[in-house]
């Protein structure tokens, strides 16, 4: 039976990517070596690294003013690295708290930076994106989380500010077009919508760096990794390769604009069923609904187990909601075909 993978992470991958990755894991391009064995200084991997950067720049229209880095440590390491590299004592930096990951970003940066939480949706269990909050004119930067995997919200309109926006885009990068000039730094763990766990994408405006008054440890300094082309130490070779394959696939499908159209169609199909099926209810303000992570409940939660059983019988996996919200969560990243969304909608209709 075909499986329909609605897990929030690791990411669902296209079939062509999994096939190419499995072949490279055994023998990379006839070298007689697994890609996991080749030197990260050798021509084979340097070509992979260069191509991956080239695809990032092409898909997101990244100019030479920005560095593209492939680091380790996940988005969680960026919670403190961003502040460590950009903040100076007496600077004012603003954060918007829209869920678990932004809360953690605030906690980590607050260890050494004076953080001002400009807005929060915690009052309604992070079921909406705050609007209309005041943004100080003298902010060094504004930190946002673009998409909230646990709660199912997504930022649709970017804040109007002259300060550079620092943004955690782990779960929706490459899913829609971006006004890149508004951002000073973007970071994303690959395992949600890009590739395999183990690599973290960072896109940073170079002119923002090198202005801190304190010593930045070598491994935490973005300039270290820019100077060494993301290879100061051994990078996650195989994870970067899968990222390259995945970005090639996005380009073949028509790029980010095509992904946005594809994702909008999947989201409409599922949200329409949630809104029209009397057994179900969404958990998020309609204007802030994420197309990546759809969260919903059965109005009668005593039927949750029965619904999960029906999903399992249809080959649906990963549909159970996070404990912070309960109910169900359908994660529909770029690689998910609309046919899988249709299977879930059919189960919901039959359950009614």
Same domain flag for 210 and 264: no
Which of 210, 228, 253 marks a domain boundary?
Answer: 253
Which of 207, 233, 253 marks a domain boundary?
Answer: 253
| Domain region containing 260 | 4-12+255-351
Span 113-127, pLDDT tens digits: 889 999 999 999 999
Q: What percent of the chain has pLDDT over 70?
A: 100
| Tokens describing residue 245 | 């394959």
Same domain flag for 120 and 231: yes
Same domain flag for 127 and 81: yes
Query: pLDDT at position 34, please?
Result: 96
Same domain flag for 78 and 202: yes
Span 27-48, pLDDT tens digits: 999 999 999 999 898 889 999 9
Averaged pLDDT, 313-333: 96
Distances (CA, A) of 325 to 13, 176, 191, 199, 220: 26, 26, 22, 28, 34
Active-site option among 44, 97, 168, 172: 168
Distances (CA, A) of 174 to 64, 135, 168, 169, 216: 19, 27, 13, 9, 30
Which of 233, 253, 273 marks a domain boundary?
Answer: 253
- Nearest C-alpha neighbor of 147 from the set 75, 206, 77, 94: 75
Cβ neighbors of 234 (< 8 A, separation 6 or more) are 40
First to last CA, the chain: 24
Span 70-109, pLDDT tens digits: 999 999 999 999 999 999 988 999 999 999 999 999 999 9
Residue 11 has pLDDT above 90, yes or no: no
Averaged pLDDT, 171-178: 97
Are 219 and 233 spatial neighbours (Cβ–Cβ below 8 Å)? yes
Same domain flag for 125 and 214: yes
Same domain flag for 206 and 297: no
- Nearest C-alpha neighbor of 203 from the set 27, 348, 4, 67: 67
Averaged pLDDT, 186-193: 95
How many residues make up the chain in this entry?
352
Residue 26 has pLDDT above 90, yes or no: yes
- Nearest C-alpha neighbor of 344 from the set 329, 333, 323, 322: 329
Helix axes 237-253, 15-26, angle to 10 degrees: 150
CATH code, 210:
3.40.640.10
Same domain flag for 206 and 312: no
Query: pLDDT at position 22, please?
Result: 96
Query: pLDDT at position 351, please?
Result: 94
Query: pLDDT at position 90, please?
Result: 87
Residue 282 pLDDT class (50, 70, 90 cuts): very high
SS3 205: strand
DSSP letter at 217 equals P
Beta-bridged to residue 42, according to DSSP, are: none
For the question of residue 101 being annotated catalytic, the response is yes
A 10 A CB-CB count for 249 gives 18
Span 198-244, pLDDT tens digits: 999 999 999 999 999 889 999 999 999 999 999 999 999 999 999 99
Residue 310 pLDDT class (50, 70, 90 cuts): very high
Query: pLDDT at position 231, please?
Result: 95
The bridge status of strand 153-154 relative to strand 147-148 is antiparallel
Span 121-162, pLDDT tens digits: 999 999 999 999 999 999 999 999 999 999 999 999 999 999
Q: What mean pLDDT, rounded, does the chain reach?
A: 96
| Tokens describing residue 17 | 């990517």
Query: pLDDT at position 269, please?
Result: 98
Alpha helix positions (H), 235-287: 237-253, 255-276
Same domain flag for 309 and 245: no
CATH code, 287:
3.90.1150.10
Same domain flag for 238 and 265: no
Beta-bridged to residue 96, according to DSSP, are: 119
Q: What percent of the chain has pLDDT over 90?
A: 94
Same domain flag for 182 and 88: yes
Averaged pLDDT, 260-273: 98
Q: 300-315 burial, b for 16+ CB within 10 Å, e for fewer?
A: eeeebeebeeebeebe
Same domain flag for 284 and 214: no
Averaged pLDDT, 293-302: 97
The beta strand positions in the chain, using DSSP E, are: 4-5, 66-71, 93-97, 115-120, 141-145, 147-148, 153-154, 165-168, 183-189, 200-205, 280-282, 293-298, 316-317, 328-331
Total domain count, the chain: 2
For the question of residue 158 being annotated catalytic, the response is no
Same domain flag for 221 and 265: no
Query: pLDDT at position 1, please?
Result: 80
| Tokens describing residue 158 | 């970017």
Residue 112 pLDDT class (50, 70, 90 cuts): confident
For the question of residue 192 being annotated catalytic, the response is yes
Distances (CA, A) of 304 to 20, 191, 313: 38, 28, 14
Active-site option among 44, 97, 172, 192: 192
């Amino acid at each position: 039976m075909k499986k329909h993978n609605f897990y929030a992470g690791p990411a669902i991958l296209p079939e062509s990517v999994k096939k190419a990755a499995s072949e490279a894991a055994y023998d990379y391009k006839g070298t007689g070596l697994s890609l996991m064995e080749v030197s990260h200084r050798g021509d084979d991997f340097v070509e992979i690294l260069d191509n991956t950067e080239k695809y990032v720049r092409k898909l997101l229209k990244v100019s030479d003013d920005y560095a593209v880095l492939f680091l380790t440590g996940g988005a969680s390491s960026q919670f403190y690295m961003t502040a460590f590299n950009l903040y100076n004592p007496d600077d004012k930096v603003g954060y918007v708290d829209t869920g678990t990951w932004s809360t953690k970003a605030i906690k980590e940066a607050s260890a050494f930076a004076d953080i001002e939480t400009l807005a929060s949706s915690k009052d309604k269990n992070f079921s909406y994106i705050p609007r209309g909050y005041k943004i100080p004119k003298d902010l060094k930067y504004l930190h946002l989380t673009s998409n909230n995997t646990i709660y199912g919200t997504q930022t649709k309109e970017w804040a109007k500010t002259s300060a550079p926006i620092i943004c955690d885009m782990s779960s929706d990068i490459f899913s829609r077009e971006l006004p890149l000039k508004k951002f000073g730094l973007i970071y994303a763990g690959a395992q949600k919508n890009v590739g395999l766990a183990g690599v973290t994408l960072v896109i940073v405006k170079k002119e923002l760096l090198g202005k801190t008054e304190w010593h930045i440890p070598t491994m935490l300094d973005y300039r270290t990794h820019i100077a060494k082309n993301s290879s100061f130490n051994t990078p996650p070779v195989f994870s970067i390769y899968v990222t390259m394959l995945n970005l090639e696939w996005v380009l073949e499908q028509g790029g980010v604009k095509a992904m946005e159209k594809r994702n909008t169609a999947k989201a409409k199909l599922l949200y329409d069923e949630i809104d029209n099926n009397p057994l179900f209810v969404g958990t998020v303000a309609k204007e802030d609904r994420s197309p990546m992570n759809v969260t919903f409940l059965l109005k009668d939660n005593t039927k949750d187990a029965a619904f999960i059983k029906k999903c399992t019988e249809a080959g649906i996996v990963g549909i159970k909601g996070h404990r912070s919200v309960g109910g169900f969560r359908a994660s529909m990243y770029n690689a998910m075909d609309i046919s899988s969304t249709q299977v879930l909608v059919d189960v919901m209709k039959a359950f009614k």
